[in-house]
Amino acid sequence: MGPPPWAFISRRGLREVVLWLLSDRPMNGAEIIRAVEDFTWGFWRPSPGSVYPLLKQLEAEGLVSKRPDGRYELTESGRSAVKLIPWIRGPRLGAPRSIAEIIDELESWAMYITDVAITEPDRIAPYRERIRRIGELLSKI
């Protein structure tokens, strides 16, 4: 389960997203910026002026440590902090509550993927087969 859209609204949101990303694997600041951009399909690209001071702050708080290769990894305290992030603990706020809401959300995502396929086909190319299989699943309903 990934972060909900509202997680990106503030610096606090960036903090939670960075901790969540580091729970998967160690990363340096540039990798974090790219991971946020990739995860949000380009909607959000945090600036180095936001990410690097945050990494220093997280290190000072003992939540991350910097490895010799320059990548940051969660400490034991950091792993505990990730477990306290609300959207990791339980259902995300704003999740669709009815079939109608799910259909609306699916339609919006399908429209978005269609636009990306037209404007940036290389971004979609690695996922074409998976998208086709999802379409087949939905067509069986």
3-state secondary structure 57-103: HHHHCCCEEECCCCCEEECHHHHHHHHCCHHHHCCCCCCCCCHHHHH
Residue 89 banded pLDDT, cuts 50, 70, 90? very low
pLDDT of residue 92: 44
CB 118 within 8 Å of CB 111: no
Q: Is 26 left (phi over 0), alpha (psi -120 to 50) or beta?
A: beta
Mind listing the pLDDT tens digit for each residue in 38-73? 888 888 888 898 999 999 999 999 999 999 999 999
Domain residue limits, the chain:
5-89, 99-139
pTM of the complete model: 0.56
The listed CATH number (3.40.640.10, 3.90.110.10, 1.10.10.10, 1.20.1050.10) that belongs to domain 5-89: 1.10.10.10
